Amino acid sequence: MTTATTDDALLADLDRALDRTTGALFDLQRPDGSWEGRLSPSAPATADVLIAMHLADPEGCRDLIDRGVSWLTRTQQEDGGWGDDADTESTLNGTALTVAALALVAPDRAAGNIRRGWRRVEEFGGAEAVRDVEKCSLTVLVHFYLVLAGLMSEEGLLRVPIELSLLPGPLRRKLTFAMPTAMAWGLMCAALTESGRARTAVNRAAAPKAIAYLDGLVGFEGPDGGFVESPMMSANVVIGLALAKRRPDIVRHCLKYFRATVKPEGAWSVTRDLEVDATNFITVGMQHAGLTDDPRVGNAVTWIRGAQRDEEFIWTGAPSGGWGWGLPSGWPNSGNTADAVLALAGAGHDVHDPQVRRGADWLLEQQNHDGSWSCFARVGRIATLDPSFAMVGKARSPKVLYGPCAVMSAEAVSALGLSGACPPGDPRLVRAYQWFKRVQRADGGIDNKWYVGRVTGTGSVLRALGDVGLGHTEVARRCVSWLRLHQNPDGGWGQTAPPDGPSTVEETAMAMLGLVASGTDPTDPLLVRGAGWLIEHRNPDGLWSPSLVGVYFLELLYRHDHTANGYALQALARYREALRAPA
């Protein structure tokens, strides 16, 4: 078979796959033009919400509690544990937190599940492992819940310092999305812990500021939002306030949110569905698939416009003009803002469009001093603080510092370049390139904070460099070499089990996107095999199954349907564009 015949056959396969995928995604599009972006149920999140409802209003929430208990008992693994997400490998975080919840909420009904679960905790190392942040990243939450359930002693229990609320405004605004939990638990610790005169004075000064912080976020969320747009974070706030006997109105607000966010299965996910992520990812994929002028894609672009935040987000110091991950109360961040700008630019709206200009200005204002971008807050010469350090006792642990991220930085670079906000050679892009060069590992791979492994970081940076005309630079060449070395024998990529685990849709798609954008020959077996893997691993409906690659609060992992679908669509569509391009 000639090369031309092979290319024709591959193009035909791509055409069929993309037609099936885009049709399936249009079938899922909501009437307002957006996509839901569903996260699957999570045992740790469900357990956290059950504890919150049990402490705050067990009778008023009885129906939800019963459904949640049923889901947890039904999804216990054969080894007795629970994973970070539904039907995933057991973890100490998931197992210990769920055991604590069942022991508090349903000690008789779930007695057998509790016994099996505790045996699994002991296999992980028992109480000693729970107290060790290197083994249990949610150590403070889990330890405290097990104390409440009578399964562990208070020995070694860490206090969450309410004095975080006394930090000066500029520093306090640098604190990231664990701050609501830190404020509520600080109030709780102040109320439950015996204090001397000095500590009492500190608590008295700090408590009003902590409450004011929570009040302000409730105002931002509106009547239908939750803290950080997350059932799990909202549960932490409820637990803190309920035990501190503070602000029952905020507690009721969160209980309403739990009822609004329960999944059909009777469980909760770590955060509300990522509708902005989903709509951005899919819209860009549709544009590369040649559907920019389809009215349904136009409706999605209109929805993305409507999701832009018009107000400053004072809790992180972010300006107006950004996007969060969901409505009404996802926090504005670099990733969602960059992806929204990319979607608008893909629809033909460059930096002269007022909304694109505001989004680009948001990104430029949030660029860190070293040329990188973080998720929520601009980082100065001192790394951003994160109050979760108070929940693990290790301020310098990589688990708890939300500083510069390669994926966030790459998305910002792509958005600024493709929107026309930063032309080739712009000093701000040069600074970003120099940062990529500094953080690239000796083997060519690049780490990131918000996805497992190095494939996503490496592929994202390579894609960004290609998008802004830097696809043949030293950093890009080393990224290509790393991806070539780490392709799995089946043609995909995956590092969920380092160094090289089973191939996943998300990682394979991101590797493909980087290779295509940077100018890799589309007939290179590296790309041909990657495209073949994505085509072969579609479900019968033309879509893909997500994997546990997303990183949330303190190393909890999650999976999101349209991260898989959106990036796979983009990868195959951009690859088809490359194959069709004149030699």
pLDDT single digits (tens) 412-471? 999 999 999 999 999 999 999 999 999 999 999 999 999 999 999 999 999 999 999 999
Mean pLDDT of the chain: 93
User: From CA 370, how far away is CA 379, in angstroms rounded?
Assistant: 9
Across 435-461, b (16+ Cβ under 10 Å) vs e yields bbeebbeeebbbbbbbbbbbbbbbbbb
Interval 157-178: pLDDT, tens: 988 889 889 988 777 666 667 8
Which residue did the predictor score with more confidence, 571 or 389? 571
* pLDDT for res 557: 87
Interval 291-313: pLDDT, tens: 999 999 999 999 999 999 999 99
The dihedrals phi and psi of 39, each to the nearest 5 degrees, come to -95, 140
* pLDDT for res 164: 85
Interval 495-530: pLDDT, tens: 866 667 899 999 999 999 999 999 999 999 999 999
* pLDDT for res 4: 63
Q: Where are the domains of the chain?
A: 1-31+440-547+563-583, 43-261
* pLDDT for res 360: 99
* pLDDT for res 381: 52
Which among 545, 530, 539, 445 is positioned nearest to 492, based on CA atoms? 530
- pTM value is 0.94
CB 98 within 8 A of CB 117: yes
Same CATH topology for 1-31+440-547+563-583 and 43-261: the answer is: yes
Give how far the C-alpha of residue 275 lies from the chain's centroid of Cα atoms, to the nearest Å. 12
* pLDDT for res 222: 83
CATH code given to domain 1-31+440-547+563-583: 1.50.10.20
CB 242 within 8 A of CB 251: yes
* pLDDT for res 392: 47
Q: How far is CA 142 from CA 68, 148, 230, in A?
A: 18, 10, 18
Q: The tokens of 79 are what? A: 């080894």
Q: Does domain 43-261 have CATH number 1.50.10.20?
A: yes
CA distance between the termini of the chain: 20
| pLDDT band at 195; cut points 50, 70, 90 | confident
Which among 346, 211, 187 is positioned nearest to 282, based on CA atoms? 346
